[in-house]
Amino acid sequence: MGIIIAILLFSFIVIFHEMGHFLIAKANGIEVEEFALGMGPLLFSKEYKGTRYCLRLLPIGGACMMGEDDEATGSEGNFHSKSVWARIAVIAGGPVFNFILAFILSVILIAMVGYDQPVAEQVENGYPAAEAGIQPGDRIVRIGNKKINIFREISTYNQFHQGETVDVTYEHNGEKYTVTLTPKYDEENQYYRLGISRGANEKAGFFKSLQYGMYEVKYWICTTVSSLKMLIMRQVGIDQMSGPVGIVGVVDETYQASSQYGVLTVIASMLNIAILLSANLGVMNLLPIPALDGGRLVFLFVEAIRRKKIPPEKEGYVHLIGFALLMALMVVVMFNDIRKLIM
């Protein structure tokens, strides 16, 4: 069951991404040749207002074909006949819709389970937070150069900066104080800790759900960016990356663990994973890598600055090379995922 949920979840997120391209292309008068749900052999298709809507056999992802890889024609609805800013909007529409989806799901999740405000519920004796004077009930407002909105940002910052001395600003009785903390190594857990623990989630009304929904999306975007920085700086290796196989494994494990607590817990767990995946997909697609939306945006912004189109054949070669490299990376990541499952 968990594997089926993983496939449907990932497909829904990809389809929403393609829906962003589709809706903005239509709004700009661009001809969309095909909008497909799934991949593989065709099961059903219907043409409506110049677009063929297709349902394909394999329920994996989807596609919006709008001629961005085709040669320019004199047609008014041709992708390349539109202004560079219209084309930028269409290409950016996919990642933007991923962030919108992440926000919608975050609002739903927070309305269900509440939000984790950055308040210290417990401060452990013998650890730097207590020694610096932080007390239960104090609110953490900044750690390092990062503003804190939810408690998980504290935990994640510490995870990405293990053992590093950091300035922490907290609020006590309406007054703000800044202290310098050096995490202490926990021998039992083999982890550097500040000694601050969170409490239960706070219930959220409508406006709080909207507010913390934004914080939730920001958290996952920042976490994805920080992870990419660590990968570039070789603080983590490619073998620690996960692809589709790894995602299916995580979703299945999460489903198995949460199913014993009831349907609402399963829904909340799947929403949390969907938020992560959607925000992650949005960030990854904005990377300036050929064949991704970010790579296409680079060419379009260069065109906007030069006020002259880059020869399509040159851009096509770059995207082809980028696609080949991405496929090679996917093979490596998939190999790592399968190896982890076997070991």
HEC profile of the chain: CHHHHHHHHHHHHHHHHHHHHHHHHHHCCCCCCEEEEEEEEEEEEEEECCEEEEEEEEEEEEEEECCCCCCCCCCCCCHHHCCHHHHHHHHHHHHHHHHHHHHHHHHHHHHHHCECCCECCEECCCCHHHHCCCCCCCEEEEECCEECCCHHHHHHHHHHCCCCCEEEEEEECCEEEEEEECCEEECCCCEEECCEECCCCECCCHHHHHHHHHHHHHHHHHHHHHHHHHHHCCCCCHHHCCCHHHHHHHHHHHHHHHHHHCHHHHHHHHHHHHHHHHHHHHHHHCCCCCCCHHHHHHHHHHHHHHCCCCCHHHHHHHHHHHHHHHHHHHHHHHHHHHHHHHC
Catalytic residue, chosen from 18, 153, 216, 315, is 18
The verdict on whether 18 is a catalytic residue reads yes
Q: What residues are labeled active site? A: 18
